[in-house]
Amino acid sequence: MAEQVTAYPPEPWNLAGQAYLSIWRVPVSELPALPGGVEPIVVGGRAQVFTAWIDYQEPGQLQYHELLATVAVRGERLSSSITDIWVDSEVSLAGGRALWGIPKDLAALDFAHGRTFTASAATQEDWIATAAFTPRPSLPVRMPAAFDVVQMLDGRLKRSPVRAKARPCPAAADWRINESGPFGFLAGQRPVLNACLRDFKIVFGG
């Protein structure tokens, strides 16, 4: 009997939902490995790492939860490379790996929306992180962004374009990180900025 292949949409993916973002300044020596030929943007001996809890919702093509870490890297325009990422969707995992070389893994991701957003992530082996975000008033406009995600796919670097719009708002955030887990390189550090991206819409890939 042939092995069943998880079906996923062709690119681009049109997605929507809510995101909770933190930016960290991490010593270059403590960064997770990046694909060969990819260089982090370094300021004062530190790289910029973006972490995000993302709740993909309708009317997007897929609905699932995600936690990721991505490093700002050199490119012709704003670029990043995803080093760690977990989802709770087999479809998202299969598509992310096959289409863009994004190293998605499965995890249990629990989100609770309210005045304060809370989230937790754990694999079968151990917990990864928890966080609580308390948003401040959001801007009344939807702001656009465009950037590339740079990953290794089939032995070659692939740059995938991303276009997004969202209503950003600052937030207070409280992280708890398992120092012996895959986010351990962030343990003991504090984000330099926290934000919510309300009602985002993303076109991922080209």
The answer to whether residue 23 is domain-embedded is: yes
**Confidence label for 142 from pLDDT (cuts 50, 70 and 90):** confident
**Confidence label for 5 from pLDDT (cuts 50, 70 and 90):** low
The answer to whether residue 87 is domain-embedded is: yes
The answer to whether residue 77 is domain-embedded is: yes
The answer to whether residue 185 is domain-embedded is: yes
Please tell me the chain's helix, strand, coil percentages from 3-state DSSP, rounded to the nearest 5: 10, 55, 35
Judged by DSSP in three states, 29 sits in: helix
The answer to whether residue 8 is domain-embedded is: no
Whether 23 shows a pLDDT value over 60: the answer reads yes
Per the structure, the count of domains in the chain is: 1
Whether 141 shows a pLDDT value over 90: the answer reads no
Q: What is the pLDDT of residues 31-48, one digit of tens each?
A: 999 999 999 999 999 999
Task: Find the CATH number of the domain harbouring 145.
Answer: 2.40.400.10
The answer to whether residue 162 is domain-embedded is: yes
Yes or no: say if 33 and 65 are a contact pair by the CB < 8 Å rule.
no
Yes or no: say if 146 and 162 are a contact pair by the CB < 8 Å rule.
yes
Global pTM reads 0.95
Q: What is the pLDDT of residues 153-198, one digit of tens each?
A: 999 999 999 999 999 999 999 999 999 999 999 999 999 999 999 9
Residues with Cβ within 8 Å of 2's Cβ and at least 6 positions away in sequence, in order, are: none
pLDDT of residue 140: 76
Supply the range of the domain harboring residue 154.
13-204
Whether 14 shows a pLDDT value over 90: the answer reads yes
Average pLDDT over the chain, rounded to an integer: 95
The answer to whether residue 4 is domain-embedded is: no
Whether 3 shows a pLDDT value over 60: the answer reads no
- Please indicate whether residue 137 or residue 39 has the higher confidence score (pLDDT): 39
The answer to whether residue 200 is domain-embedded is: yes
